[in-house]
């Protein structure tokens, strides 16, 4: 028997002695279908998408429960009658899959999860009824955009062909004048340890540094985009993850399809912002946040552009900076390169094209900008980066030095091989031995 997951509401209800069966919208079993749910959410108040619990506490401790998007979805599906009580408590019971597992604080315009749900005959009217009932029981931070019946063998993770994210950040992050301004702000507020800065102190630091009035210049924006462009294509990202992976394993390689940076735009409080859109077949943990942070520090002049190339080299191990999660939004998944996902691809396309998600995306972006007005999280991050500047820059320059030595050695070997090839061709031509050049045979004469 599958045990209760400590990150499910069923586990918390049991520990508190709450009889939750009266919440169920359906008591008896019924035929189920595999349904893909297209959901959006503001992840600021949640510990991520996937159900989880505090590993530092006992599963029998009610405080081990952590609020997640999936815990709220599971409860709403129970109350809507899509999950029977016997299947409530562990999503494995309904063969749950997800296309993108977002971290704590990360939001989504369109994410897709699947499960075996009770939806009647699965007709369009049944789907509309399911969407309406589930949305009625979901909190305001989560919305169900749509639902589609898929094949029983469909797996959201493995049948998803690509994922697209956008990272929204203040335009002062890639400004060359930012480090000096933050350093002056740190001295003005008398900060000794930036890691201990609270929201009030961080906002005082931002005001003292004058960050809100900074505007990114065209040259800085161009360098920021050049650094981001280095990530396009199939690249080695073992240096851009917080996970412990085998550096020699194929999982360290990822294919990035698109990297682009918007033109600067103004937020509600007059602050200037940038939006970086990244699409790839799949991502490693923290990969996007590290990519954008590294590119921003290159634009600042804090790191050389060659550091990006060095960090992408499979023969070089180095640390890379990581931005906060609160500016990251999962835009949508793609299923067009998998036969089983074509119907779902059409469904997600229709939801996006109908404009139902545009308002949600604008709301998420506005929430990110308004939240930073109160917390000034990026000002705190920049102060922390300055605090460890000497250590981080030292290891970065060592990585760049190793990369340049390797590139010179590689160029030297290429020249040696070319010189050797010329010598062989000369000897063969002098001896009248046939020499194949491309697809054509050439016979030299003495």
**What is the tens place of the pLDDT at every residue in 337-352?**
777 788 889 989 999 9
Statement: residue 202 has pLDDT above 90: yes
Distance CA 209, CA 329 (A): 28
**For tokens 């997800």, what's the residue?**
98
What does the pLDDT read at residue 398?
Answer: 92
Are residues 40 and 108 in contact, defined by beta-carbon separation less than 8 angstroms? yes
pLDDT band at 437 (very low <50, low <70, confident <90, very high): low
pLDDT band at 446 (very low <50, low <70, confident <90, very high): very low
**Secondary structure of residue 34 in the 3-state scheme:** strand
- Top-ranked range on mean pLDDT: pick from 4-8, 119-123, 295-299: 295-299
**For tokens 């851009």, what's the residue?**
240
Statement: residue 415 has pLDDT above 90: no
Are residues 262 and 171 in contact, defined by beta-carbon separation less than 8 angstroms? no
User: What is the residue-averaged pLDDT of the chain?
Assistant: 90
What does the pLDDT read at residue 417?
Answer: 75
What does the pLDDT read at residue 238?
Answer: 95
Go through the domains of the chain in sequence order and give each one's CATH number. Answer: 26-159 (3.30.70.580), 163-335+343-400 (3.30.70.660)
Beta strands of 202-295 (E only): which ranges?
233-236, 253-261, 265-266, 272-280
0.85 surpassed by pTM: yes
**Secondary structure of residue 10 in the 3-state scheme:** helix
Among 178, 282, 167, 186, CA closest to 228: 167
Distance CA 435, CA 53 (A): 68
pLDDT band at 439 (very low <50, low <70, confident <90, very high): low
Among 412, 318, 406, 343, CA closest to 150: 343
Active site residues per annotation: 103
Statement: residue 17 has pLDDT above 80: yes
pLDDT band at 94 (very low <50, low <70, confident <90, very high): very high
Between 137 and 394, name the one with better pLDDT. 137
**Secondary structure of residue 169 in the 3-state scheme:** strand
Tokens (6 digits) for 411 = 């160029």
Statement: residue 429 has pLDDT above 80: no
What does the pLDDT read at residue 438?
Answer: 56
Statement: residue 53 has pLDDT above 80: yes
- The DSSP-derived string for 190-220 is T-S-GGG--HHHHHHHHHHHTGGG----HHH
Q: Are strands 107-117 and 328-334 parallel, antiparallel or unpaired?
A: parallel
**For tokens 């009580």, what's the residue?**
85
Distance CA 277, CA 216 (A): 18
What does the pLDDT read at residue 444?
Answer: 53
Residue 167, marked binder: no
């Amino acid at each position: 028997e599958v045990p209760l997951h400590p990150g499910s509401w069923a586990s918390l209800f049991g520990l508190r002695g709450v009889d939750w069966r009266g919440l169920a919208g359906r008591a008896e079993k019924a035929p189920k279908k595999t349904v893909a749910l297209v959901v959006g959410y503001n992840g600021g108040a949640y510990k991520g998408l996937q159900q989880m619990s505090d590993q530092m506490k006992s599963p029998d401790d009610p405080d081990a429960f952590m609020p997640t998007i999936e815990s709220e979805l599971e409860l709403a599906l129970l109350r809507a009658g899509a999950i029977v009580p016997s299947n409530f408590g562990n999503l494995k019971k309904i063969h749950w899959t997800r296309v993108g597992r977002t971290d704590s604080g990360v939001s989504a315009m369109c994410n897709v999860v699947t499960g075996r749900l009770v939806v009647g005959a699965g007709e369009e009217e049944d789907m509309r009824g399911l969407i309406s009932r589930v949305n009625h029981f979901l909190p305001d931070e989560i919305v169900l955009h749509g639902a589609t019946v898929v094949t029983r063998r469909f797996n959201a993770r493995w049948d998803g062909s690509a994922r697209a994210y956008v990272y929204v950040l203040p335009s002062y992050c890639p400004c060359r004048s930012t480090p000096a301004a933050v350093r002056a702000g740190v001295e003005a507020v008398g900060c000794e340890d930036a890691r201990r800065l609270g929201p009030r102190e961080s906002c005082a630091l931002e005001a003292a540094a004058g960050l809100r009035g900074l505007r990114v210049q065209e040259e800085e924006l161009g360098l920021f985009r050049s650094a981001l462009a280095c990530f396009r294509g199939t690249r080695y990202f073992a240096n851009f993850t917080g996970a412990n992976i085998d550096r020699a394993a194929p999982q360290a390689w990822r294919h990035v399809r698109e990297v682009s940076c918007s033109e600067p735009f103004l937020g509600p409080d007059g602050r200037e912002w940038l939006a970086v859109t990244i699409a790839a077949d799949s991502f490693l943990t923290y990969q996007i946040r590290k990519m954008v942070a590294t590119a921003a520090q290159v634009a600042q002049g804090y790191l050389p552009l060659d550091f990006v190339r060095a960090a992408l080299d499979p023969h070089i191990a180095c640390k890379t900076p990581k931005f906060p999660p609160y500016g990251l939004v999962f835009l949508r998944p793609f299923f067009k390169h998998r036969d089983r996902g074509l119907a779902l691809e059409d469904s997600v396309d229709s939801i996006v094209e109908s404009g139902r998600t545009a308002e949600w995306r604008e709301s998420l972006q506005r929430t990110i900008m308004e939240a930073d007005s109160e917390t000034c999280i990026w000002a705190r991050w920049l102060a922390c980066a300055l605090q460890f500047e000497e250590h981080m820059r030292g290891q970065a320059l060592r990585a760049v030095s190793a990369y340049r030595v390797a590139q010179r050695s590689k160029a030297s070997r290429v020249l040696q091989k070319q010189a050797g090839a010329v010598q062989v061709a000369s000897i063969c031509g002098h001896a009248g031995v046939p020499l194949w050049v491309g697809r054509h045979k050439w016979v030299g004469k003495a």
